[in-house]
A and B are shown apart, each in its own frame.
Chain A
Amino acid sequence: EAGVTQFPSHSVIEKGQTVTLRCDPISGHDNLYWYRRVMGKEIKFLLHFVKESKQDESGMPNNRFLAERTGGTYSTLKVQPAELEDSGVYFCASSQVHRSNYGYTFGSGTRLTVV
């Protein structure tokens, strides 16, 4: 079974530019989550999709961040315009059921550097 795939693995962009991160969850996993880890801080929840619906986006930092999951398969997270404080590692995770007893499967993450 293929794991959670994230693309790109690294991205370096200038402040003010736009970046789009992609996540392909494990096939059949209706629940998809975005998290991010800013340098020196803990991994923080951003939002949760169930299929194509946003279930909880309480962790999204501001309206420069837009997540979509059209068709309920892969998801994108767009940052526009990027700011320096957006630098960090963005993780996607998926699970068959929400709050699964078997935890989440995380992707390898996208390391975003805004310069």
Chain B
Amino acid sequence: GQQVMQIPQYQHVQEGEDFTTYCNSSTTLSNIQWYKQRPGGHPVFLIQLVKSGEVKKQKRLTFQFGEAKKNSSLHITATQTTDVGTYFCAGYSGGGADGLTFGKGTHLIIQP
């Protein structure tokens, strides 16, 4: 079945440094979504990308969807302590199950 690999699993950065997490799918995705989960919290929807090569920005966050619609990345510029949490990518394949296939997530740890 479809698999979504996400790296790195953990990322320690100093406050102010940049951060990037990457997702790769074993199959072509119809779209990809990104979620953030704060420690002790639940996943909160950030954004959805649909088009091949799409790039979207939300303040310091930049999201990209690959040309082949099999990979995606999230880049945070100048991290702040409020960025701490786990970032998940999740996607739908063209057919298949109704649910999203999630990556394992990247835990972002920020040292002040």
B-contacting residues of A (Cβ < 8 Å)? 33, 35, 41-48, 55-56, 58-59, 91, 98-99, 101-109
Cross-interface CB contact of B43 among A45, A58, A91, A98, cutoff 8 Å: A91
Tell me if B42 and A109 are in contact (CB < 8 A): yes
Is there contact, CB below 8 Å, between A98 and B98?
yes
Determine how close the nearest CB of chain B comes to the CB of A9; give it in whole angstroms: 11
Q: Could you tell me if B43 and A106 are in contact, using CB atoms closer than 8 angstroms?
A: yes
Tell me the smallest distance from the CB of A108 to a CB of chain B, in Å.
5
**CB closest chain-A residue, reference B33:** A103
Are A106 and B102 in contact (CB-based, < 8 A)?
A: no
**Is there a chain A Cβ closer than 8 Å to B39's Cβ?**
no
Contact of A108 among B33, B35, B41 (CB under 8 A): B41
Query: How many B residues, CB 8 Å from partner?
Result: 24
Interchain CA distance A41-B101 in the complex, whole Å: 12
By the criterion CB–CB under 8 Å, are A56 and B42 in contact? no
B100 CB-CB contact with A under 8 Å: yes
List of B residues within 8 angstroms of A59 by Cβ: 97, 99
Contact between chains at A104 and B45 (CB < 8 Å)? yes
Alpha-carbon separation in the docked complex, A103 to B99 (Å): 11
Contact mask for chain B residues 82-112; partner A; CB cutoff 8 A; 1 contact, 0 none: 0000001010100001111111110000000
The distance in angstroms between the C-alpha atoms of A35 and B43, with both chains bound, is 11
B44, CB-defined interface residue at 8 Å:
yes
Chain B window 21-52, contacts with chain A (Cβ cutoff 8 Å), 1 for yes, 0 for no: 00000000001010100000111111010100
